[in-house]
């Protein structure tokens, strides 16, 4: 057992134990390299000496690390440190589905179906990457505090399945497919079976097969029919019961072919609960015993090897190893093997027939592709694109349904933009002027980000720069930081907010009250240009440690609320439409008023947008935090501004939560980080307009999403900066 404070791999600091299982303990840890909290699963000592187990565990965990999906607990790292074998995973705050079922007894039909759909989507993503879970059960499904469902333990299930059928997996055998408990080959359909058993438990509150020993339960999976779930849940919809039946067929061939089909039927059941749309495969009761020849047995073996070779190398290696059988079928084993070989022979013949059909289709597709290539080669000569009209050759108009890529007009004159747009089938419209860092008379911004695919003849609207208008930094005395920031932003300035604790006035009071400005740079009276970045230091009051009394701001204006929460480091604001609360007033707050809370933890405020739908907020209109060197500030004051305007695609795995955008740049050998946006949900594709370190042409924008109260990194984007003219 690891102790708090221990460091794994010179990176992960153990903070405490948060769970345990049959084969591993789970710890909460701090990843000091990426500055985030993670879950570290460490194998128990009794499994560390089994070399076969370790090899399988490592191979499958490495394969699972390539999975990224909203319904899968992401695996970040896998390795060992002086005999401690570990998997580093995404930290999810919540409870297992097993605990949730035990707490509620049984789940509602809608809730169970929703959970099953999310689990199926996660498993579908894994299957599409050639990874089979093999240990799907409620204990390996986590429901987070925000209601999201995630499947975990992809890395350990495969290694354990061939090694540890014992009391450690008593919970697993309740959900194991017949082919798994028999020790045979298992694939995606084994996960479908286990999902069906899990769905059965969700709607009834109990598993279909139970017993005193693993062997007793396993035999029931092989021989007994389950009690229909409608016996325990009278209002169970007919369609959902049929889905459970189809998932849990003992014959692999009678189950769903793919998770995609399971998802489709589950969604269908929500809109047609009593529908008879689940299609079951018929059983051939008149089938005769098939004798397999030596030649056919050879073909079966050859087919299996080919199937393994098509998988990922590390998974293929595992598939070629045979499972140890913990359940001895005695005299029936020889007959079972014969039936199994016969079934494979039939499938092999069907597969060869399908292969011939695919070959013919391949030739047909090849012919079509060849014809298309010839067509486009000839088209390049203009023979198809021209037609004779009034004695002149004219080009045929392009298809109006074609998609067009939006060019970047920022920084160009209107004449240059017109020349660039010529022939692109995109309309343009100048909609006004604005102050910006662009030279006067040049295009300063456009409403559709460059690189976006739009329909032909879409209108692109743009603004013309009025140049960098001069702005005098006003006095901040007696004004809230909120009011100062809004005033400066309206003048076209970018605000970099930093929060610090105030000095003591000697009477246990802060020199500057929380939420008010301590200092501003450049100083009051300085003349700057629109587009420049101003650094504003805001007071957090006196440092009272990790405890502060939460104010009640419900019904207050946004300015009053932000000021009263001045001690809090991270104030996240969202807006909701409301007919009861006037526009600009607080509807609710995430922290309970008049109770103690840590001011270093984020607080969320919901502000009314009145009768209007809330508009998507951008970093330019949000209060941001960050650091900026004195040299950078001085360079900006002198007019040397390096800008980046770039469109970002949706980061993989983004769930729609609030984000933090952090810019990393190498400034004279020193890594410098600046927070571009914090606590805002953005709409993608998203255009950034960032001022960077003067003279530095490159940078990296890291994207983090708030998950369970902690920021988790989603990915990063390379950025290019140019000096504004």
Instruction: Report strand pairing: 659-667 vs 698-707.
Output: antiparallel
Q: Taking the CA atoms of 589, 592, 594 and 595 in sequence, report the sign of the dihedral they define.
A: negative
Asked whether the beta carbons of 634 and 521 are under 8 A apart, the reply is no
Asked whether the beta carbons of 696 and 667 are under 8 A apart, the reply is yes
The single residue of 135, 191, 532, 570 carrying the catalytic annotation is 135
Q: Residue 612's CB: how many other CB atoms inside 10 A?
A: 10
In angstroms, the CA 462 to CA 62 distance is 48
Burial of 174 (0-12, 13-18, 19+ CB in 10 A): buried
From start to end of 364-510, where are the E strands?
386-389, 392-395, 403-405, 427-434, 443-446, 453-455, 459-465, 470-472, 494-500
Residue 633 — φ and ψ, nearest 5°? -65, -40
In angstroms, the CA 599 to CA 547 distance is 7
Q: How many residues in the chain?
A: 725
Asked whether the beta carbons of 381 and 431 are under 8 A apart, the reply is no
Looking at residue 646, what DSSP letter applies?
Answer: E
Strand 517-521: give its sheet, edge to edge.
494-500, 533-539, 517-521
In angstroms, the CA 413 to CA 22 distance is 68
Asked whether the beta carbons of 40 and 8 are under 8 A apart, the reply is yes
Burial of 520 (0-12, 13-18, 19+ CB in 10 A): buried
CA atoms lying within 13 Å on the CB side of residue 186: 28
In angstroms, the CA 178 to CA 462 distance is 64
Using alpha carbons, select from 61, 278, 50 the residue that is nearest to residue 157: 61
The H-assigned helical ranges of 540-674 are 558-564, 630-637
Q: Residue 5's CB: how many other CB atoms inside 10 A?
A: 9
Q: Which residues pair with 28 in a beta bridge?
A: 16, 39
Q: Let me know if 135 is a catalytic residue.
A: yes
In angstroms, the CA 202 to CA 208 distance is 11
Instruction: Report strand pairing: 427-434 vs 459-465.
Output: parallel
Q: Known catalytic residues?
A: 135
């Amino acid at each position: 057992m690891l102790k708090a404070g221990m460091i794994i791999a010179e990176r992960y600091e153990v903070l405490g134990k948060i769970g345990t299982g049959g084969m591993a303990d789970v710890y909460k840890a701090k990843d000091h390299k990426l500055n985030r909290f993670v879950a570290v699963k460490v194998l128990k000592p009794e499994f560390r000496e089994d070399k076969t187990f370790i090899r399988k565990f490592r191979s499958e965990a490495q394969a699972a690390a390539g999975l990224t999906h909203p319904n899968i607990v992401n695996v970040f790292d896998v390795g060992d440190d002086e005999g401690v074998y570990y998997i580093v995973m995404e930290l999810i705050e919540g409870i297992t589905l097993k605990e949730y079922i035990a707490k509620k007894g049984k789940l509602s039909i809608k809730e169970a179906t929703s959970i099953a759909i999310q689990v199926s989507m996660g498993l579908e993503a894994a299957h599409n990457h050639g990874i089979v879970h093999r240990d799907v059960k409620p204990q390996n499904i986590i429901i987070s505090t925000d209601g999201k469902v995630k499947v975990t333990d992809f890395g350990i299930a495969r290694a354990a399945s061939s090694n540890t059928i014992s009391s450690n997996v008593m919970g697993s055998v309740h959900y194991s497919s017949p082919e798994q408990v028999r020790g045979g080959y298992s694939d995606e359909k084994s996960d479908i079976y286990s999902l069906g058993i899990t769905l059965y438990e969700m709607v009834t509150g109990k598993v279909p097969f139970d017993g005193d020993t693993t062997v007793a339960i396993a035999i029931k999976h092989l021989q007994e029919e389950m009690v229909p779930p409608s016996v325990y849940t009278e209002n169970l919809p007919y369609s959902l019961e049929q889905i459970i039946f189809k998932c849990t067929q003992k014959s692999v061939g009678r189950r769903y072919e793919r998770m995609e089909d399971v998802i489709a039927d589950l969604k269908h059941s929500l809109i047609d609960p009593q529908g008879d749309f689940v299609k079951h495969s018929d059983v051939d009761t008149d089938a005769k015993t098939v004798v397999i020849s030596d030649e056919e047995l050879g073909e079966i073996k050859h087919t299996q090897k080919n199937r393994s070779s098509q998988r990922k190398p590390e998974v293929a290696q595992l598939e070629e190893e045979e499972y140890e059988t913990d359940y001895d079928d005695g005299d029936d084993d020889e007959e079972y093997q014969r039936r199994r070989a016969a079934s494979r022979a039939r499938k092999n013949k069907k597969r060869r027939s399908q292969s011939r059909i695919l070959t013919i289709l391949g030739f047909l597709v090849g012919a079509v592709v060849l014809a298309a290539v010839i067509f486009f080669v000839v088209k390049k000569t203009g023979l198809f694109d021209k037609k004779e009209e009034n004695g002149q050759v004219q080009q045929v108009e392009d298809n109006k349904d074609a998609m067009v890529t939006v060019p970047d007009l920022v920084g160009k004159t209107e004449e240059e933009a017109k020349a660039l747009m010529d022939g692109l089938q995109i309309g343009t419209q100048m909609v006004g002027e604005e102050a910006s860092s662009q030279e006067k008379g040049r295009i300063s911004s456009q409403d559709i980000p460059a690189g976006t695919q739009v329909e032909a003849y879409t209108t692109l609207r743009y603004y013309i720069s009025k140049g960098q208008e001069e702005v005098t930094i006003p006095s901040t005395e007696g004004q809230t930081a909120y009011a100062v920031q809004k005033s400066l932003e309206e003048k076209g300035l970018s605000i970099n907010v930093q929060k610090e604790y105030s000095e003591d006035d000697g009477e246990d009071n802060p020199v500057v009250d929380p939420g008010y400005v301590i200092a501003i740079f450049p100083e009051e009276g300085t003349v700057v240009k629109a587009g420049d970045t101003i650094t504003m230091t805001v007071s957090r009051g006196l440092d009272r440690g990790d405890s502060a009394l939460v104010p009640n701001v419900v019904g207050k204006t946004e300015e009053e609320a932000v000021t009263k929460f001045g001690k809090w480091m991270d104030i996240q604001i969202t807006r909701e439409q409301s007919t009861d609360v006037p526009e600009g007033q607080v509807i609710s707050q995430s922290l309970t008023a008049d109770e103690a809370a840590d001011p270093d933890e984020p607080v969320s405020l919901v502000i009314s947008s009145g009768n209007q739908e809330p508009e998507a907020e951008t970093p330019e209109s949000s209060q941001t935090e960050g650091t900026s060197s004195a040299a950078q500030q001085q360079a900006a004051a002198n007019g040397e501004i390096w800008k980046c305007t770039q469109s970002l695609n949706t980061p993989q795995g983004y769930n729609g939560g609030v984000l933090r955008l952090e810019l990393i740049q190498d400034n004279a050998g020193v890594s410098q980080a600046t927070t571009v946006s914090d606590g805002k949900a953005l709409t993608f594709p998203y255009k950034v307009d960032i001022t960077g370190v003067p003279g530095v042409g490159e940078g990296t924008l890291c994207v983090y999403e708030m998950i369970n109260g902690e920021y988790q990194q989603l990915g990063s984007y390379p950025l290019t900066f140019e000096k504004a003219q």
